[in-house]
Structure 1
Amino acid sequence: MTDLINARFILGISPENQQISALLGLPSANIDDPTLITADVVVIVASAKSGIDPKLVSQWHTFRELYIPTIVAVIDFEDGDVDFEDMSAIVGKMLEPVVTPYLVLHADNGEPTALINLEDQMITDYSTKQVAKIPSDSEHKELILEFKEELHNSLIEGGWDQFSAGLIIPAIPLMPKNNLGVAEIKRFLDLIPSRG
């Protein structure tokens, strides 16, 4: 019964769902699962390769009437034509606009290896097994300025309490192979108080 009281789910179909479920400690569900009405928070999987589950897209407006706090985990952006920022824009058109609290940084070979937090401008480096937090340099700060201002404007009304109230949706890049984005998604999951 506690699972129904403190329900947290992953929605969306992707080959990585089982791995994502294990990384985040959340069970998968379908958009038409009746237990969703009891959910505290859900994570939607959006793939830059295969898109968003069509059933989820078709039932999105009904689902959003519940104002369940929602996070979009963007996957498969590392080796395709669609990067994280592009996929976030696509999610905005297919579902509703999202906010991006992090941007992806790439190594010289083009591999996504780090995230920069747009609020404190700290970089979390996932290029090695030893994840490190490092301050950004002036070049990074200049590159992210427009995105930082956009996020700031989204949060003026009520900060991240808007997320907890189901009013705004953060999109977060996720790469299961190196855990990029796992801690960042868990940060948002932790903003939702546990009722269990």
Structure 2
Amino acid sequence: MDQTLNRHYPYPECDPPVQKDASDIIQLAQLATAINDDVQQLSDTIEAQIAYPPSGRMDMTGFATTSSEFVVTYTTSAWTTRAGLTDTGRGGFVVQQPGWYLITGFIAGPALHMRTRLVVNGTQRGVWQGYSRPVTGIANQAQELKTTIFLDAGDFLTNVVRHATAGSVTFEGQLAVVSMVSGA
């Protein structure tokens, strides 16, 4: 049987020169099945990548440290759309499919001059986001992280914080990821 050019659907053929229909019910069934399977695959792709993309958020609260630079360990998975995307044992996200991801989050604490930056597979990536400035009447300051980056399957994602306060400081934070464009 012949196939359409773009979607490769099999279609019934005619028997020239009489132009009588030489197709049988099996050929029509194959065409219907091919169209049905293609539409279902398209629907699944839309749901997985557009309506319900890989995404999640992790939280960290009450983290006390005397270090002026530390890699954040997220202790709680607030929510996720894919099992295995959040890893509380390692304290971050494990990317399951390649693609472009939007990463957002914040770190809050009483420290002055906080900055934060992305960490992928133990290596700092991108630019430092910050400085955070003190705000009159607000005890805590927050430093936001916003970036878009291409990640591969298996990449481990968290962030690092740097601040200028001496002594023990307690921090809280959130980190969220959402797949914008799948590379799979």
- With normalisation by structure 2, the TM-score equals 0.31
More strand, by proportion = 2
- Larger RCO, structures 1/2 (Cα 8 Å, 6+ apart): 2
- With normalisation by structure 1, the TM-score equals 0.30
Give 1 or 2 for the bigger CA radius of gyration.
2
